[in-house]
Structure 1
Amino acid sequence: MTESSDDVSRIHKRYTLTTFTPTSHYVSLAISIAVACVIVAVSYIDYFKSTDNLTLAIPITIGALVGTQFLDPKILRTEYSKSIHMSAFGNLLWLVTILCGILSSYVFSKPQLLPIYITEGMLLYASFRIAIFTSVLGAKLRTAWIICLLQPLSMFLAFVPSTMWISMLTDPRAIEYGVIFCILGSLWTLLSDRIAGRGKLSSTHAFLQAYLAAWTNNNPEPMEYLMEKRSESSKVSTFQVLFKTKNHNCRLVIPDLHPGPFHPIGGSNIPYLIYKNLDSSAMVMHSISDHSLNLPSKSQVELYITSLKTNSTIQQGSKSTKPVTIQVNKARTTGLLFDKTAILILSLSPYGMEDIPYYIKSELEQYGKNRGYERVLIVDSHNAMGKEIEKLDADDLLNAAKSTLDTLITKETLPMEIGYANSESLSFSADDLGPGKVAIMCFKIGDEKFFLAWADANNMLNGLREEIANHFSKNGYNFLEICTSDTHYKARTAKNKHGYFEFGSLSKANDVISWFMELAKKAEQTSPVSSYELLKSETNVKVMGGNQLEIYSKSLDTAMRITQAFLLITTGFFIYTLL
């Protein structure tokens, strides 16, 4: 795995901690109301030893709960759903404190249950609100202190008998415990926000809030603002092989950009935008690139897309060699030669890997020049899930690719015909595909037809490529390869460590095979190529660079370690209060 890909994975891994939140705020609302009812019932039965006013206390408490759930988002200018989720977890903390108080009473044979645990639970809930207000909702620490008691105190006054208010709210131990909890919450806020960034990130919480706004609310603006500030200008090249026929033009596109970093920020959906800009008749390949070449914002994406209209023709022709495929152990390379330009497609499927490292590209480009090629364009097929590429596998990829170049240059060039079909005529939907869905290209060279498949997806389920290839082979089709665009678009939130659904994780293999077979039958109705043109465009855009994601990732890692330490301290102190 390249370093930047590893950083993105770690950021997503930290995000998965938030997936404990119910998917619907209605579920959280039901939980908060149910827990509030249990808090009131347990308090009356076990602490107050009376149920006289229980039936009245419960609806009043629910009214206080629901009323403050509406007040919180108005004061903090945040979403109502976040207030509900926070309320559910906070009330659970309060209930746990009350239940632990009961357990402590029986274990240590206390003469009577101490109402201190009700007050302590209320103040523990307040400290939880301080932490959430400042980290997730972006409130100032002073504001968090002012309103942290709004909900728990309202509920306390609603169900605790008025005759007990003063004694319970002035109990020195309850006040002492509560203040310590709130101080711990405040110290955590300061350390996790300022110290975690290590001087490189002014506010870890600001990054967290921007990330959550993008990931959960589809609002990329805060995150794009942070990322574009840290981005650097770079000259980006894009190569296109445009096949011109009398019926339909189509093209292979190899941009020196990387989709991402994650939906909906910046260039996360860049493959589809290129595809649409080129009349939905393109296969947008994954070049040898990583997340350092992410476009950080929509403005940079628009600048790049506009630049595709201005390009230069650097080569023309109408012939090519037949494809060459070389397998070396796990590594497989498929190559096509257009005059002096070779296109190589690299794969380790079904074993998989992450982004191919840059040194493979530079070594192959130099090797091609030494063999008389004008240029070598390299595609990372990105068609099986895997980890960081091992040295042995990298060497095999290089050897397979070099052998492919050695073989291609000896091949005869022949007239070719091209057929292309995409899925826009097919009626299906799949949440593990981007909006470009799937396409296929048929090369008729000499007396043979060869099929190259494409999916607008973020990688593929291991083994899916082999199932497709085997089915094509059984039906007499020469299957070259399937490539994914590595799009970072998401049709729906993926609550897993990857942060996305790889192609085949939701779509069934039989369905996928049928889609490609139907497209292959359309694409094999080829047309003679009047010419192909190799186009090149260049533009200056801002890219994220090599260390930006590393800064975010390491800051979140440090914040997590600080959080773990404070959780241990808070838990230890909570146990002490039970003794």
Structure 2
Amino acid sequence: MTESSDDVSRIHKRYTLTTFTPTSHYVSLAISIAVACVIVAVSYINYFKSPGQLMYAIPIAIGVLVVTQLLDPKILKTEYSKSIHMSAFGTLLWLVTILCGILSSYVFSKPELLPVYITEGMFLFASFRIAIFTSVLGAKLKTAWIVCLLQPLAVFLAFVPTNMWVPMLSDPKAIEYGIVFCVLGSIWTLLSDRIAGSGKLSSTHAFLQAYLAAWTNDDPVPMESLMEKRSEPSKVSTFQILFKTTNQDCRLVIPDLHPGPFHPIGGSNIPYLIYKNLDSSAMVMHSISDHALNLPSKSQVDLYITSLQKNLKIQQGSKSTKPVTIQVNKARTTGLLFDKTAVLILSLSPHGMEDIPYYIKSDLEQYGKNRGYERVLIVDSHNAMGKEIEKLDADDLLNAAKSTLDTLITKETLPLEVGYANSENLNFQADDLGPGKVAIMCFKIGDEKFFLAWADANNMLNGLREEIASHFSKIGYNFLEICTSDTHYKARTAKNKHGYFEFGSLSKAPDVTSWFTDLAKKAEQTTSPTSYELLESETNVKVMGGNQLELYSKSLDNAMRITQAFLLITTGFFIYTMF
């Protein structure tokens, strides 16, 4: 079950290559202008030997550069910022070519080759534009060839003396180098787009463009369209434990869905949407699930949310056992028993892990039936960052959970009181939290009170859970666990290998413990006798399935391997031209 999580991580890893782009197009604009100035200055000092003309050549070159930066997005129907970023990288390639040419001319004592490198740099800039036009901007290859020379050639004509135009542009070596660079860029485009998908994905570039539109422009439509076409129908169950009190109703919700795949696609913000749909008085837990159970589009999300109003009441009562916590090596399980329904919360914190393997769920459900339980509801607390769970740790979780079930069934059931508080009225901002922020539930069972915390977050910083638990212990509160919703909502773009900010990476631990302490006191004050209802709803929706994300991940991996090969070939040919 964790393979799809790895696939999403690999897709994000490929995306991080784009984080080399400056965060602001103003920075790229400044870079492109500065580099253009250097290109002109170096050319006039080392190539044309007439530095006195710089005062005329530089302003003209900059003017032409800026005008062509405005023309590109109009011709290609793309954002101005992309044109500027592309211009910055392209002029850098041109400058590197010129500087390497100067070095080569001095090393091999061939000053007559100097003009070739200005023209070669122009063509290298053009070939770079072909690659970006077709892969990132979605232009057809014919269009890319027509437009690729627009900016490089215009800048070339702007600063190169008119008497040098014909000899420099008709130089056989320059033309040969230019054709080779542009052909290499074109072949890369065809191979990385068609071959990388191994025949199963019609266009790798179309996926890349949809991904970037969603990730950078918050436009989910192209990506959702791709994903929904490949999604498969499935029946999804959702369990709710509705606590009905005189003060406020509240719920524990365990959906058989996984948030994701990433903001703002499909069900990436599904925990908050459930939370709001249930009157902002719910704690939406992470079930044992992975990205195979993502909802691919807004239409499927709407269908699922609507279904939550149609529930079947399958159990009711007013008593529960006191919680049981069992630790086996790194693994920890906390359990509560409501009549014949057990709720188990699994964690490896502070050691961390990825999504819990699915076999643990099936094993525990069968084990529970063998012990006389009607059902076992399992929560992945998702409260510490880690890699794919190792078999030894997974087995420890399974053993701890089985021991918890064995102990729970021997416990006395006692009258239950519940209190709930959320952060709706707390005035704080945290970009490592989803819009549901944080909440806490107080269970008074017999003569003791226990606190279960929740954060609408994508996992947690390792050790934060322990700091919260330690603080609660110091103030005399029984802390059960903190669970995250594993939301894939993002308040702002995270340029890191995860693609998100885990809870505690931006929020400070003292602030976090303060938030939960305040909520615990409010929940304690609202505690009152309760009855509960166990509700179940089933919905027929489309889910992404594991193969879809694997296909995207492998296609991008293949495209990256093709790209690396062509970079080596292009670099090798570039070095050859220096000789």
TM-score tier after normalising by the smaller chain length: over 0.9
Distance in 1 (CA, whole Å) between partners of 2:308 and 2:62 is 59
Letter paired with 1:381? S
1:94-131 per-residue CA deviation (whole Å, 9 max, x = no partner) reads 00000001000111122445201000000000000000
Which position in structure 2 is the counterpart of 1:348? 348
Give the conservation status (yes or no) of the 8 Å contact 2:416–2:530.
no
Letter paired with 1:446? G
Which position in structure 1 is the counterpart of 2:42? 42
1:271-303 per-residue CA deviation (whole Å, 9 max, x = no partner) reads 000000000000000000000000000010000
Which position in structure 2 is the counterpart of 1:533? 533
Task: Classify 1:121/1:111 alpha carbon distance in 2 versus 1 (closer, same or farther; 3 Å).
Answer: closer
Distance in 2 (CA, whole Å) between partners of 1:80 and 1:391 is 50
Which position in structure 2 is the counterpart of 1:393? 393
Give the conservation status (yes or no) of the 8 Å contact 1:102–1:113.
no
Distance in 1 (CA, whole Å) between partners of 2:182 and 2:527 is 73
Which position in structure 2 is the counterpart of 1:60? 60
Which position in structure 2 is the counterpart of 1:174? 174
1:225-254 per-residue CA deviation (whole Å, 9 max, x = no partner) reads 000000000000000000000110000000
Give the conservation status (yes or no) of the 8 Å contact 1:188–1:563.
yes
Distance in 1 (CA, whole Å) between partners of 2:352 and 2:358 is 17
Give the conservation status (yes or no) of the 8 Å contact 1:237–1:539.
yes
Which position in structure 2 is the counterpart of 1:131? 131
Query: Offset of 1:526 from its aligned partner?
Result: 3.6
Which position in structure 2 is the counterpart of 1:289? 289
Letter paired with 2:517? M
1:232 pairs with 2:197: no
Distance in 2 (CA, whole Å) between partners of 1:79 and 1:441 is 47
Give the conservation status (yes or no) of the 8 Å contact 1:29–1:84.
yes
Give the conservation status (yes or no) of the 8 Å contact 2:442–2:527.
no
Task: Classify 1:73/1:24 alpha carbon distance in 2 versus 1 (closer, same or farther; 3 Å).
Answer: same
- Please state whether the residue corresponding to 1:467 is helix, strand or coil: helix
Distance in 2 (CA, whole Å) between partners of 1:460 and 1:519 is 19
- Please state whether the residue corresponding to 1:497 is helix, strand or coil: coil
Give the conservation status (yes or no) of the 8 Å contact 1:441–1:452.
yes
Distance in 2 (CA, whole Å) between partners of 1:350 and 1:547 is 31
- Please state whether the residue corresponding to 2:495 is helix, strand or coil: coil
Which position in structure 2 is the counterpart of 1:569? 569
Which position in structure 2 is the counterpart of 1:161? 161
Query: Offset of 1:527 from its aligned partner?
Result: 3.5
- Please state whether the residue corresponding to 1:458 is helix, strand or coil: coil
Which position in structure 2 is the counterpart of 1:12? 12
Distance in 2 (CA, whole Å) between partners of 1:226 and 1:339 is 45
Query: Offset of 1:395 from its aligned partner?
Result: 1.1
Give the conservation status (yes or no) of the 8 Å contact 1:46–1:113.
no
Give the conservation status (yes or no) of the 8 Å contact 2:252–2:283.
yes
Give the conservation status (yes or no) of the 8 Å contact 2:2–2:357.
yes
Query: Offset of 1:517 from its aligned partner?
Result: 0.4
Which position in structure 1 is the counterpart of 2:368? 368
Which position in structure 2 is the counterpart of 1:461? 461
1:127-174 per-residue CA deviation (whole Å, 9 max, x = no partner) reads 000000000000000000001000000000000000110000000100
Give the conservation status (yes or no) of the 8 Å contact 1:243–1:531.
yes
Letter paired with 2:148? C
* Aligned sequence identity (%): 88
1:506-530 per-residue CA deviation (whole Å, 9 max, x = no partner) reads 1110000000000001011143334
- Please state whether the residue corresponding to 2:52 is helix, strand or coil: coil
1:155-200 per-residue CA deviation (whole Å, 9 max, x = no partner) reads 0000000011000000010000000000000000000000000011
Unmatched runs of 5 consecutive residues or more in structure 1 = none
Letter paired with 1:19? T
Give the conservation status (yes or no) of the 8 Å contact 1:417–1:526.
no
Distance in 2 (CA, whole Å) between partners of 1:402 and 1:110 is 79
Give the conservation status (yes or no) of the 8 Å contact 1:327–1:333.
yes
Which position in structure 2 is the counterpart of 1:309? 309
Distance in 2 (CA, whole Å) between partners of 1:33 and 1:414 is 74
- Please state whether the residue corresponding to 1:286 is helix, strand or coil: coil
Distance in 1 (CA, whole Å) between partners of 2:184 and 2:148 is 14
Q: Which shows bigger deviation, 65-74 or 106-115?
A: 106-115
Which position in structure 1 is the counterpart of 2:223? 223
Distance in 2 (CA, whole Å) between partners of 1:422 and 1:485 is 14
Task: Classify 1:173/1:70 alpha carbon distance in 2 versus 1 (closer, same or farther; 3 Å).
Answer: same
Which position in structure 2 is the counterpart of 1:200? 200
Distance in 2 (CA, whole Å) between partners of 1:486 and 1:211 is 21
1:552 pairs with 2:552: yes
Distance in 1 (CA, whole Å) between partners of 2:574 and 2:101 is 11
1:341-372 per-residue CA deviation (whole Å, 9 max, x = no partner) reads 00000000000100001100000000000000
Which position in structure 2 is the counterpart of 1:384? 384
Which position in structure 1 is the counterpart of 2:188? 188
Give the conservation status (yes or no) of the 8 Å contact 2:460–2:503.
yes
1:494 pairs with 2:494: yes
Give the conservation status (yes or no) of the 8 Å contact 2:420–2:527.
no
Which position in structure 1 is the counterpart of 2:84? 84
- Please state whether the residue corresponding to 2:386 is helix, strand or coil: coil
Give the conservation status (yes or no) of the 8 Å contact 1:47–1:113.
no
1:152 pairs with 2:152: yes
Distance in 2 (CA, whole Å) between partners of 1:36 and 1:101 is 17
What do you get for the CA RMSD once the two structures are aligned? 0.7
Give the conservation status (yes or no) of the 8 Å contact 2:247–2:526.
no
Distance in 1 (CA, whole Å) between partners of 2:29 and 2:562 is 30
Give the conservation status (yes or no) of the 8 Å contact 2:335–2:405.
yes
Distance in 1 (CA, whole Å) between partners of 2:542 and 2:76 is 34
Which position in structure 2 is the counterpart of 1:278? 278
Letter paired with 1:259? P
Letter paired with 1:350? P
Distance in 2 (CA, whole Å) between partners of 1:111 and 1:15 is 42
1:456-484 per-residue CA deviation (whole Å, 9 max, x = no partner) reads 00000111000100110011000000000
Letter paired with 1:126? A
Unmatched runs of 5 consecutive residues or more in structure 2 = none
- Please state whether the residue corresponding to 1:72 is helix, strand or coil: helix
Distance in 2 (CA, whole Å) between partners of 1:449 and 1:507 is 27
Give the conservation status (yes or no) of the 8 Å contact 1:451–1:481.
yes
- Please state whether the residue corresponding to 2:251 is helix, strand or coil: strand
Give the conservation status (yes or no) of the 8 Å contact 1:135–1:189.
yes
Give the conservation status (yes or no) of the 8 Å contact 2:431–2:491.
yes
Give the conservation status (yes or no) of the 8 Å contact 2:418–2:530.
no
Distance in 1 (CA, whole Å) between partners of 2:112 and 2:169 is 18
- Please state whether the residue corresponding to 1:289 is helix, strand or coil: coil
- Please state whether the residue corresponding to 2:61 is helix, strand or coil: helix
- Please state whether the residue corresponding to 2:573 is helix, strand or coil: helix
Which position in structure 1 is the counterpart of 2:479? 479
- TM-score normalised to the size of structure 1? 0.99
1:491-544 per-residue CA deviation (whole Å, 9 max, x = no partner) reads 111111100011001111000000000000101114333410000001100000
Which position in structure 2 is the counterpart of 1:428? 428
Distance in 1 (CA, whole Å) between partners of 2:98 and 2:341 is 73
Give the conservation status (yes or no) of the 8 Å contact 2:255–2:287.
yes
Give the conservation status (yes or no) of the 8 Å contact 1:437–1:455.
yes
Letter paired with 1:521? K
Distance in 1 (CA, whole Å) between partners of 2:301 and 2:320 is 33
